A and B are shown apart, each in its own frame.
Chain A
């Protein structure tokens, strides 16, 4: 286990540097941040040069990147062009997005696995066909289309849920957006669970469990499910990336002022520090989630642990 953890951590280092550097470089290609600072007015060249110097924009990109990384490890993401620390902006935005992600993740896990288990245990029956068709349809509809349609139906036409999320984003108003955000992932989770259940139910060790005279319920919970959920959990972890991307879309539809909203504003205004800061934090969260999943995987599957 120890060796495995260390190896994963070491592998993380180049990936972390590579990913953040690419993001950093791309954002800096966004355009001249100083020009953006002045908006439509043409800046005085002397002033612009001075600002450039102040911000260190004349250094080679790699040096700028190095300075930025130094900042990250000391908990600073720099200031936005309006002088506000990016970390402060993050503190405003993050709780909302975190809440949204939490709601979505819960829906994805509970509903996805339940549907998948039902479907996998009743392969070929009506319930299975129903789940398969439904998930196929959900996967085929892009999140933003599902979002608008559900927003219209639930929020406007029937008035069951809030069509837009008010400031402060109480949990009750996040259920509909959470469901929209979870929809595609939950369909994938259901299908994956079904596949692994169906596959493992033919496994030799399940036959052994039956031959041992274990009650059906114990065979399912202790042997079939325990083994089948390992790949599902792996998927759930890595699916966080999709959830983050989806959050950008969902926040826009439901007018939620979370990470996606500020990021989007940042890009529109070419506010480089905001964009770099937000994207870097998201990527770090994603990488950490992947690492966590790998470790969890080793805990769940002893064959990896002792490999």
Chain B
């Protein structure tokens, strides 16, 4: 391994690194930066073998792939286990809120306005007299749907665009990179304020689409870097020499090796997208009633926070736990997939 510095100019031709250097964006970027180091790895498993060799541990009796290794690592990581259990729980709540609550979050009684927690209503009531517990339970769906689908969307679009740019290079790369820069140049909350206020009816899918439109360049840059690194590997040259076509090269040889950093960034981004949705709703450009969402509830509870803090704290707590769970998952996945930090 000649050099493990991030952003080294040698090894990656064209202006791959200057591109990467500006690849750190608004909110969900830290994962991106940490992952960049991984891009320098020719092949992650390789790298691990090398680092163990430096202390002389050569365990060749049981050869393990990066993914097997990562899975073994994950299973032993308490952070992963805790976040995993939390996420399974949250997804269950999101899909079957009826299991946890039989009240309708939309049937409210103004007589109960802003009442604190009482028996049968552990979280109290909001200004409209709606049961906060019911709204918190039913609010999970919006947050998790936005988080999961925005992540899938950005990952898919970003991987395709970044992959094409990295694989073909030349003018395709130049065009894709510039387009990515354009969307990158719009700070995401600012963009939300402008773009989303144009659209009168904002369903969950509109918010997802917005996040995908402004979020894909982040993944695209990671994917581009990873693909450029993978493309230069000898086994890719070998496969090409053996007559493998472009699509086979991309799908069979390059994609599997470029996937690890993309997965890491995407997992961490998931948590931040949930946070983003809540913030957009808070600014009044995210989801709108009658959709039940934590962001909406927190936003409407904000004005009366001093008198009735429970209205804000319960949905905010649920929101934070959800984000925390996904960010912890992302952290654990990164640790497992990035052997360098072990």
Contacts and interface: CB of A to CB of B under 8 A. Distances in A.
Interface in A170-202: 184, 188, 191-192, 195-196, 198-200
Contacts of A267: 193-194, 197
A165 B278 CA distance: 24
Interface of B is mostly: helix
Interface of A: 4, 7-8, 11, 14-16, 18-19, 22-23, 26-27, 29-31, 136-137, 139-145, 148, 152, 156, 184, 188, 191-192, 195-196, 198-200, 203, 227, 230-231, 234-235, 238-239, 241-242, 244-246, 248-249, 252-253, 263-264, 267, 275, 279, 282-283, 286-287, 290, 293-294, 297, 301, 303-304, 307
B179 A18 contact: yes
A283 B195 CA distance: 14
A144 B282 contact: yes
Contacts, number: 194
Contacts of A242: 26-27, 187-189
Given A18-B182, A235-B33, A290-B22, A148 B305 contact: yes
Given A144-B279, A152-B305, A192-B30, A297 B186 contact: no
A50 to B, nearest CB: 26
Interface of B: 4-10, 15, 17-18, 21-22, 24-27, 29-30, 33-34, 36-37, 178-179, 181-183, 185-190, 193-195, 197-198, 271-272, 275, 278-279, 282-283, 298-299, 302, 305-306, 309, 312, 316, 319-321, 323-324, 327-328, 331, 340-341
Contacts of A199: 4, 6, 37, 340-341
Contacts of B190: 241, 244-245, 248, 279, 282-283
19 contacts: A14-B178, A15-B178, A18-B178, A18-B182, A140-B323, A140-B327, A141-B320, A144-B279, A199-B6, A231-B33, A234-B33, A235-B30, A242-B188, A242-B189, A248-B283, A279-B194, A286-B185, A290-B22, A304-B7
Contacts of A252: 283
B187 A244 contact: yes
Contacts of A191: 30
A191 to B, nearest CB: 6
Given A14-B178, A15-B185, A136-B331, 16 more contacts: A18-B181, A19-B185, A23-B194, A30-B197, A136-B324, A136-B327, A142-B278, A199-B341, A235-B29, A264-B193, A267-B197, A275-B194, A283-B187, A287-B185, A304-B17, A307-B9
